[in-house]
Chain A
Amino acid sequence: MPMREPRLEVRVLGEMSVRRGGEAVGLPASRKTRALLGYLAVTGEPASRSKLCSLFWDGPVDPRGELRWSLSKLRSLLGPRAAGALVSDGEAVRFDAGAVWLDLAAVRSAAARGIDRLAAAELVACEREFRGELLAGLDLPDCFRFDAWLIAQRETLRGLRVALLERLAGLTDGDLAEALRAARSWVALDPLSEAAHAAVVARLLDLGRPKDAQRQAETCRRILRQELGVEPGVLLERARVHRPPTRDREHAPSRAVTVAPAVATVTVQPAAARPGEPAPWVGREAELARASAAIAARAGGEGPRLLLVTGEAGIGKSRLLAELASTLAPGNGFALAGRGNEAGLDRAYGVWIDLLRSAPFAEVAGASREAELAWLAPGEHADREMERLDRERVADGLARVLSRRARDRPPLLLLLDDLQWIDEASIALLHLLLARVGEAPLLVVAAARSGELAPRGAASRLLATLERERGLLRLPLAPLSLEEAAALVRAISPAADAERVAAASGGLPLFAIELARSGGGADGSLPPPLAALVGERLAQLEAPARGLASWVAVLGEPCEVELLRRLSGLVPSELLAGLDELERAALLRVDAAGERYEVAHDLVRRAIYEQLPAPRRRFLHAEIARAKAERPEPEGGGAASMARHAALGGEAELAAQASVVAGERALRLDAATEAREHAERGLAQLERLGARADLGLRLGLLRVLVHATRGRPGRAGLPEEILHWTEVARGAKRVEETRIGLYLLAVLRAEEGNLAGAELMALRAVEAARQGDPAGAAWTLGNTGRCLAHIERDFARAEALLLEARELAEGCGIDVVEVHFGLGLVAAADGRGAEARAELERGLELARAEEDAWIASQCLIRLAMLALDRGDPAECERRCGEIEEISARLGEGAERAVAACLRALAGRVRDPETGSAALEEALALLRAADSKGMLAEVSSRAAALDLAADRLEEAGARAEEALANASTVGRRGQIARARLASARVARARGDHRAALEHLLAASAEDRPVGTLGGAVRAEIRELSKALGIPTPRSTPGRESVDIDRGDSP
């Protein structure tokens, strides 16, 4: 009785997946084949073969053949029983809906019942089926008919999903959190829908979160203005007026507030109400006490090593950091400060350079005398120097200098503001530094915006490590109490209605300060947005100052006066006057290093930025990108910033170019996550360019992406994407781009079957030997090099070790037999026959003198093979006689059997018509001796002779045996040769596809490049040419050829 086949489960909403009995079914690598399956599943109707051909293969010579191949591929994947789901009756093909469960069918049937009639749980279940867009990643830009169909389907489904979300977001009688989630998903799906934003605002108000609601309303206003140039209409306003009457603060204060007398509970430190100076310090006694305790503990070498201050923007984190620095008594402890910058993520180590060069740099004077810290000396290009140095050594130097200074005058505070924007390289250095300073009285105080640290980013990983080691103290900041906020307002503007302004500020100090500075005229239920306050201040400035404010806000990073001069075109007197005016208005300040200008606070910067009309912002971004492109920084510095400005300025090509540079730079700095982001952003820019996108740029970005994702999950469909663009490059005869694409494909392939570093122990032995006496080192290096060459694991490294061994041996006047044997193997593998012979002859001579029968037999075996290669069977047979003679002294082993095999091969070279009896007999001996490496060698050679004599059947079987044996012993050279033999057989049979498959597999063995010998690489090149694949240019250090599995010759 046939077994009942588990139902197939097919998901098409999002990335396509197929499961059978709960087990995932692997889908074909070909995007077209997957798209074909997706199309049949989604339509659920019979499609004629001619229609399918026109959808997917409008062009190839044999579209029906391609379709047949794809269908057979699908059937084999689905398995013998489930293949029944794919029904082809004559001319038509269809997917049997009864045999599968389809996510889309569930959604369709729910929709058919009417969304308004569905219960909440059904709506939620239905909506959850949408894991992404229909057949995500299966766009086929070259198959325009299919693409048009897909776009139309996606549009329909998007409408359906919006309807579902709208219904869910409006369900206020049930789970409000679920309704809010739905409303947010709706905004994400349709960010320009005012109704969606209004739903979020309304649900937030329902949930008693007025401040979040207000923020959402601001976001909506900004997006509509920016993208559509319109103001929000009645929908948003209606949602806003539904604001519940409560004035409760969104977050309960973290500590009890004494109600009366209010003022008595609040301490106000010296009022500094003048703009441009730090705001007065108000309240926060508990936080300050906890921080001071941590500092005191650290001064004694105890307690947490990192204090993390968190809170929303404008809550007063930076102010707390400044306050902590000021609490250090003169002559007792000191602080160094640096901060991250949203637009400055590409300044590797930027925060460290700023920090070490900040005002108390004198404290570290003398540090630059340390070799690893020489770059600190004034006048040095610190960032460039720092990038060249080994990070571990920089950390050693820093740890030494900082620990010393910290012990001299404890404690030392390292203040790192805006941790969420600090680059990966800087965080890595901080990690290393903390591991090195031990019990030194040094405390890192970092500030980060709540919820803005990337969950798996470098900073989060560091914090998690410290938390495990109990080295982290978290200090969250809550809004100020009403009394504290009022005290702050009074300190700035004694005339203001302090209580009302404080209430309007919601306890957010920055907001309270801005309101107070603007006169504190809040009257409505909603305080005026910060943007309005900043706008009023801007309006009072002269035109040059306003212009400068725009440039600085759009730049978004600390900038030098020279750049501002070039951008603004102002004459120096106007420029300086404008800067003065902005400083006086507390909109601009000089950064910690005292070298550049920056906007006083990021929220203020955003407010200025948002005042600018969208077209003007775009223009400014583009100008900045062009200015940066005119004077590129060395080694790719500033490229990330350039890319960002170019993207925002609509200069897609420039943005993509800069992304390549920024990505490559990030790779050099081991900042893989950043490199990946640059690549992804660059690729997104190319999408905007469509057909005009440059192929070289695209492959450059893909190269960054491949290297950035090595050893970790890459982006879905990356190999297919690369394959596609490689084919496009090949079609356009762009040789260099084709080569890059093929190289990337081979890298990805090699990644899949990554061989473990099996030579670790040997290389450690080599390292140890290098420390010892030269003669011993020569022997160890020679032995290891010979071994690597013998097992064909890595010819490039083998040769390097052997040459080093030879130099050492010559230095002490000795001759090492293994060096000659090893170099003979390398030369033979490279196709340098004469040189190989000379080395092997010398090795044989030495081995005989030393009575090393094994090395002698091995040299003889290689000499016999070289004779075969030269077409000299007599010489081969003579060598075989010598092998047989010497093997008698060896005891058991494979040597005699190898000699018999080589003799049989020589017989065939002499007379190609010779039968295979002698060879079979010899091979049987070799199998009995269990030498799989030699079996692979002999089988590959026999396959070549069979092929030359047109015995395809035998040749194919021998190539397969060679591959199986070579794979068992992991000999990559022999694996490649066996693959080449199979490729040639496939070619002779007219199976072009199989030939390409084998050729690609052969070339994948050459990873890293140089693993294979030059002879095999030349064979790969030759065969690629014969198969009509463009042979990439040979460049120094990269001679190898990389082949992909192209579908067409």
Chain B
Amino acid sequence: MTLMIVESTYDPPLTDEARRRDQERLDPCLEMRGVEWVRSFEAADRRRKICLFRAPDAESLREALRGAGLAFDRVWIAEQREPDPADPDRQAVLVTR
């Protein structure tokens, strides 16, 4: 399973009702394709959203989204990186601060 990011934009902005409906339609499609939702980040103005998933491949995720009738801008494979003081390659955040 690979970590995937989905970027979406909303115009008009996303409502609670629309989010709930999308979720209901998407969940079975995700489950059947073995895709797990990890977490989502919504912009304060509710016009942009980034969702993290774990999926066997990017196309399974696209199929699930499209099969549920949800629009998206991009799906891309991600590598998770965390700050780590012991690893010089992972100090960027600390250094810039």
A residues apposed to B, CB below 8 Å: 758-762, 765, 783-784, 786-788, 790-791, 793, 854, 891-894, 929-934, 968-970
Contacts and interface: CB of A to CB of B under 8 A. Distances in A.
A969 B32 contact: no
Contact of A933 (B24, B31, B32, B57): B57
Contacts of A968: 56-57
B63 A790 contact: yes
Contacts of B77: 930
A601 to B, nearest CB: 59
Top 5 A-B residue pairs of the complex, sorted by shortest distance between their CB atoms: A931-B59, A762-B28, A930-B58, A932-B57, A854-B66
A787 B27 contact: no
B91 to A, nearest CB: 31
Contacts of A786: 67
A783 B31 contact: no
Interface centre among B34, B62, B72 (most CB of A within 10 A): B62
B87 interface: no
28 contacts: A760-B31, A761-B27, A761-B28, A762-B31, A762-B32, A783-B67, A788-B32, A790-B63, A791-B32, A793-B32, A892-B74, A893-B59, A894-B59, A894-B62, A929-B59, A930-B57, A930-B58, A930-B77, A932-B56, A932-B57, A932-B60, A933-B59, A934-B59, A968-B56, A969-B56, A969-B57, A969-B60, A970-B56
A895 to B, nearest CB: 10
A790 B57 contact: no
B29 interface: yes
Contacts of B47: none
Contacts of A893: 59, 62
Contacts of B59: 893-894, 929-934
A970 B34 contact: yes
Given A930-B58, A968-B57, A969-B56, A758 B27 contact: no
Interface string B29-44: 1011110000000000
Contacts of B34: 758, 969-970
B57 A765 contact: no
B73 interface: yes
B93 to A, nearest CB: 28
A893 to B, nearest CB: 6
A628 to B, nearest CB: 51
B58 A787 contact: no
Contacts of A793: 32
A758 B30 CA distance: 10
Interface in B62-92: 62-63, 66-67, 72-75, 77
Interface centre among A759, A892, A934 (most CB of B within 10 A): A892
Contacts of A931: 57-59
Nearest to A764: B28
B87 to A, nearest CB: 28
Interface of B: 24, 27-29, 31-34, 56-60, 62-63, 66-67, 72-75, 77
A249 B81 CA distance: 76
A933 B29 CA distance: 16
A39 B59 CA distance: 54
A630 to B, nearest CB: 54
A934 B28 CA distance: 21
Nearest to A786: B67
A1005 to B, nearest CB: 16
Contacts of B31: 758-762
Q: Is the interface of B mostly helix, strand, loop or mixed?
A: helix
Interface centre among A784, A793, A892, A930 (most CB of B within 10 A): A930
A846 B89 CA distance: 53
A784 B28 contact: yes
Contacts of B27: 761
A968 B62 CA distance: 16
B22 to A, nearest CB: 14
B76 to A, nearest CB: 9
Given A929-B58, A929-B59, 11 more contacts: A758-B32, A759-B31, A761-B27, A762-B29, A787-B28, A791-B32, A892-B62, A892-B74, A930-B58, A931-B58, A933-B59
Given A762-B31, A784-B28, A969-B34, A892 B75 contact: yes
A568 B94 CA distance: 98
A787 B29 contact: yes
A930 B78 CA distance: 13
Contacts of A791: 32-33
A930 B72 CA distance: 17
A893 B65 CA distance: 12
Contacts of B56: 932, 968-970
A604 B68 CA distance: 72
A788 B28 CA distance: 11
A854 B74 CA distance: 15
A784 B67 CA distance: 9
A494 B63 CA distance: 91
Interface centre among B32, B63, B73 (most CB of A within 10 A): B32
A478 B34 CA distance: 60
Contacts of A790: 63, 67
Nearest to A891: B73
Contacts of B62: 892-894
A791 B30 CA distance: 11
B63 to A, nearest CB: 7
Contacts of B60: 932-933, 969
A786 to B, nearest CB: 8
A783 B24 CA distance: 13
A800 to B, nearest CB: 16
A573 B43 CA distance: 97
Contacts of B58: 929-931
Nearest to A793: B32
A930 B66 CA distance: 16
Contacts of A929: 58-59
B74 to A, nearest CB: 6
B1 to A, nearest CB: 9
Contacts of B57: 930-933, 968-969
B34 to A, nearest CB: 6
A761 B74 CA distance: 26
A765 B29 CA distance: 11
A929 B59 CA distance: 7
Contacts of A894: 59, 62
A927 to B, nearest CB: 10
Contacts of A932: 56-57, 59-60
A816 to B, nearest CB: 13
A970 B63 CA distance: 15
B52 to A, nearest CB: 16
Nearest to B2: A930
Contacts of A969: 33-34, 56-57, 60
A101 B57 CA distance: 48
A786 B63 CA distance: 12
Nearest to A892: B74
B35 to A, nearest CB: 10
Nearest to A765: B28
A887 to B, nearest CB: 12
Nearest to A897: B59
Nearest to A890: B66
A970 B75 CA distance: 21
Given A760-B31, A893-B62, A933-B57, A787 B67 contact: yes
Contacts of A783: 67
Contacts of A787: 28-29, 32, 67
A618 to B, nearest CB: 60
A931 B75 CA distance: 12
B4 to A, nearest CB: 9
A758 B74 CA distance: 26
Interface centre among B24, B31, B74, B77 (most CB of A within 10 A): B31
A457 B77 CA distance: 52
A892 B8 CA distance: 13
Contacts of A933: 57, 59-60
A784 B75 CA distance: 23
Interface centre among B28, B73, B75 (most CB of A within 10 A): B28
